[in-house]
Amino acid sequence: VSARLPRYRCGGCGRLIDPAVQVWRCPACGGLLVLEPAGASFPLASIRDRPTTLWRYREALPFDAGSDAPGRVTMGEGFTPVVTVTLGDAPVLAKVEFASPTLSFKDRGAAVLIAAAVELGATEVVADSSGNAGAAIAAYAARAGLAATVFVAATASPVKLAQIAAHGAEARTVDGDRESVGRAAREEVESRGAFYASHVHNPYFHQGTKTFVFEVWEQLGGRMPDVLVLPVGNGTLLLGAWLGLGELYSAEAISAVPRLVAVQAAGCAPVAQAWALGAGDVEPVVGAGTVAEGIAIAAPARGAEILAAVRDSGGEVVTITDEEIVAAGRELAGQGLYLEPTAAATAAGARRWIEQQGAGGADVLIPLCGAGLKGAAATTQVH
Ligand SMILES: [Zn+2]
């Protein structure tokens, strides 16, 4: 069954590994896996005739034309609208990612990841999440008829916990930090031999999030903006975007890649700290806490990949305070767009970057990653 999926490559030792239900890291060195490139193409004339979902870029997705897995999982995810918003005095393009089946951009990764699990013949999946990825995995697992166990921090938004449970997944809360939650999930994966539906470790998640930039390219008439401002915790959207930009560039669909500006919350900013030091990898920090729970990742496993992507794009890392996050959330709610704090953090980062650069006329696009209703507990504190 798995022969129809591309092989993994270990980022540590370079070994090629056949995909299988139980494989989520290199069996030899424990390294992080990426997917072997399969030669993406973007036949726009054909793409335009297809349904407006992320699956319209099928020549760039790692599934055989005969696979029924995408059809078994899809809920119409992708092709979210692009609108113009104002940050300070600056007009900025905003892609409304919360207009997704489970109200966050994580549906992109979850749809493709669960389709891969189906293709591999998995019957159950295990995930860990600050909330939104867990909700997306729970929903798509339910859609595909797979059992799901999702580990979340005891401090996660009650709304997200309720969402996970509503889909029939077993939500297991773990006391401690985000890293403790991940460890608990991996122990479960190893003991059960289950498919690890991790948005950090499993490279299929980035195969989904990369479609974000394909859509931007198509929706802007075959071009990319100069700057993409993206939130960074584990970097699931930024790494997917970088992967997708590389595929668009290799296929000669674009002649230059945008600068990637990564946004971190001051209360938990290990990537920003490494960036300031000019380091090649990220050292864990002890976070002071932030309202942006979705990017409060003290030890991002793919930190080195995040730093390399930002550096290679000519971008940078900006840090914003909770006060700026709250202010940006109010600013966008005042324009009709109600965001959870983690999503407002991206807008705050874009505003900060534009002000720092004096770049009021810059060609900038931000994602609006998660709906305001998702973070009900956190937003209640700020009104
Ligand atoms: Zn290895």
Question: Residue 2 — pLDDT band, cuts 50, 70, 90?
Answer: very low
How far does the centroid of ligand 1 lie from the alpha carbon of residue 9, in Å? 8
How far does the centroid of ligand 1 lie from the alpha carbon of residue 209, in Å? 24
Amino acid at 346: T
Q: Which of 70-84, 176-190, 274-288, 349-363 has the highest mean pLDDT?
A: 70-84
How far does the centroid of ligand 1 lie from the alpha carbon of residue 28, in Å? 5
Mean pLDDT of 64-79: 95
How far does the centroid of ligand 1 lie from the alpha carbon of residue 14, in Å? 6
How far does the centroid of ligand 1 lie from the alpha carbon of residue 24, in Å? 11
How far does the centroid of ligand 1 lie from the alpha carbon of residue 332, in Å? 44
Model pTM? 0.95
Amino acid at 375: G
How far does the centroid of ligand 1 lie from the alpha carbon of residue 201, in Å? 13
How far does the centroid of ligand 1 lie from the alpha carbon of residue 32, in Å? 8
Tokens 């930190």 belong to residue:
303
How far does the centroid of ligand 1 lie from the alpha carbon of residue 82, in Å? 40
Three-state secondary-structure class, residue 23: coil
Q: What is the pLDDT of residue 3?
A: 54
How far does the centroid of ligand 1 lie from the alpha carbon of residue 17, in Å? 9
How do residues 313-344 score in pLDDT, each as one tens digit?
999 999 999 999 999 999 999 999 999 999 99
CB 278 within 8 A of CB 307: no
The DSSP symbol for 253 reads S
How far does the centroid of ligand 1 lie from the alpha carbon of residue 198, in Å? 18
Closest CA to 22 of 108, 123, 106, 107: 123
How far does the centroid of ligand 1 lie from the alpha carbon of residue 379, in Å? 42
CB 351 within 8 A of CB 81: no
How far does the centroid of ligand 1 lie from the alpha carbon of residue 325, in Å? 39
Give the rounded percent of residues in the chain with a pLDDT score beyond 90: 85
Question: Residue 379 — pLDDT band, cuts 50, 70, 90?
Answer: very low
Q: What is the pLDDT of residue 288?
A: 82
Question: Residue 252 — pLDDT band, cuts 50, 70, 90?
Answer: very high
Is residue 381 pLDDT above 70, yes or no? no
How far does the centroid of ligand 1 lie from the alpha carbon of residue 153, in Å? 30
How far does the centroid of ligand 1 lie from the alpha carbon of residue 182, in Å? 20
Give the rounded percent of residues in the chain with a pLDDT score beyond 70: 97
CA angle at residue 143 from 141 to 149, to 5 degrees?
Answer: 20
The DSSP symbol for 220 reads T
Mean pLDDT of 354-366: 90
Q: What is the pLDDT of residue 376?
A: 59
How far does the centroid of ligand 1 lie from the alpha carbon of residue 253, in Å? 33
Please give the backbone phi and psi of residue 129, each rounded to the nearest 5 degrees, phi first: -165, 155
Closest CA to 127 of 212, 45, 199, 20: 199
Q: What is the pLDDT of residue 54?
A: 98
Q: What is the pLDDT of residue 359?
A: 78
How far does the centroid of ligand 1 lie from the alpha carbon of residue 204, in Å? 18
Mean pLDDT of 257-280: 97
Q: What is the pLDDT of residue 158?
A: 87
How far does the centroid of ligand 1 lie from the alpha carbon of residue 10, in Å? 5
Is residue 236 pLDDT above 50, yes or no? yes
CA 354 to CA 347: how far, in whole Å? Answer: 11
Q: What is the pLDDT of residue 196?
A: 97
Range with the poorest average pLDDT among 68-82, 106-120, 169-183: 169-183
Q: What is the pLDDT of residue 383?
A: 31
Mean pLDDT of 25-45: 94
Q: Mean pLDDT across the chain, nearest whole number?
A: 94
How do residues 190-222 score in pLDDT, each as one tens digit?
999 999 999 999 999 999 999 999 999 999 999
